[in-house]
Amino acid sequence: MSGLSRPFNLLRGAMKHQIIPKANISAKPPKHVLSFGEQAIALGTMFVTILGPSGWILSHLEDYKKGPGAAAEST
């Protein structure tokens, strides 16, 4: 365990002097206020984009369990 203390001390010394940039956080009101319609369209698009493929996979789960050739035979 004593063999690891020197590398840790070197790492600790290197980490002390790093310059970390300050974040640009502003408490001002937005420059462009989104209307209710724009918010609804954005939320709907995100909903379809994220949950659409998941719903497709879950609704066709039994087809995926049967195997690759079973879907072609059943149609």
Domain around 61: 35-67
Residue 73's pLDDT is 61
Domains identified in the chain, total number: 1
pTM of the model: 0.47
In a domain, 13, yes or no: no
In a domain, 59, yes or no: yes
Inter-residue contact 71 to 63 (CB < 8 Å): yes
Inter-residue contact 58 to 65 (CB < 8 Å): no
In a domain, 14, yes or no: no
Residue 22's pLDDT is 76
In a domain, 28, yes or no: no
In a domain, 48, yes or no: yes
Long-range contacts of 39-47 (CB under 8 A, 24+ apart): none
Residues of the chain where predicted confidence (pLDDT) is lower than 70: 1-3, 13-19, 69-75
Residue 40's pLDDT is 97
In a domain, 11, yes or no: no
State whether the Cα torsion 64-67-68-73 is positive or negative: negative
For 57-75, write each residue's pLDDT tens digit: 999 998 888 877 655 565 5
